[in-house]
Amino acid sequence: MKVTICIGSACHLKGSREIIKEMQDLVSARGLKDKVDLNGAFCSGNCVKEGVCVTVDGTLFSLKPEECTEFFEKEIVGRL
């Protein structure tokens, strides 16, 4: 599964760094390194949304750092 997190200027200010850190921790804690491929990306042109742009297998989400764990369970683990 390919997960892409935007690190463009606007998303960076909304917390890309925290999300990347938390995602990386979650992926290694669950031993999912072989299944979940985390990537960075520059602006996908959707920065108008509230949170950081995250795409999971092509589907776009807008994610705030505090929602990260819940999101990970639902949209990433839930789809595996």
Partner 1 sequence: MGVTVDVAYKSLNKFTEILCGDSVEILKTADSDILILADGMGSGVKANILSTLTSKILGTMFLNGATLDECVATIVETLPVCQVRGVAYSTFSILQVFHSGDAYLVEFDNPGCIFIRDGKLMEIPRSIREIDGKKINEFRFRVKKGDALVLMSDGTIHAGVGQLLNFGWLWEDIADYAVKEYGKTVSAIRLATAICHACDELYMFRPGDDTTVACMRIIDSKPVHLMTGPASNADDDERMVADFVGDPNARTIVCGGTSSTIVSRVLKKPLDVSMDYVDPEIPPIAFMEGIDLVTEGVLTLNRVLQLLRRYVKKESVAEDFFEELDKPNGGSMVAKMIIEDCTEIHMFVGKAINSAYQNPGLPFDLGIRQNLVEQLKNTLEEMGKPVTVTYY
Residues of this chain that bind partner 1 (CB under 8 A): 5-10, 12-14, 16-17, 20-21, 24, 38-43, 45, 47-48
- Cβ–Cβ under 8 Å, residues 19 and 63: yes
Q: Which residue has the tokens 């042109």?
A: 45
CB atoms within 10 A of CB 57: 11
CB of 49 to partner 1, least distance (A): 9
Q: Which is nearer to partner 1, 40 or 78 (CB)?
A: 40
Min dist CB 74 to partner 1, Å, is 22
21 vs 35, which CB is nearer to partner 1? 21
- Nearest distance in Å: CB 48, partner 1: 5
Nearest to 7 by CA among 25, 26, 70, 15: 15
Task: Give me 58's structure tokens.
Answer: 């092509």
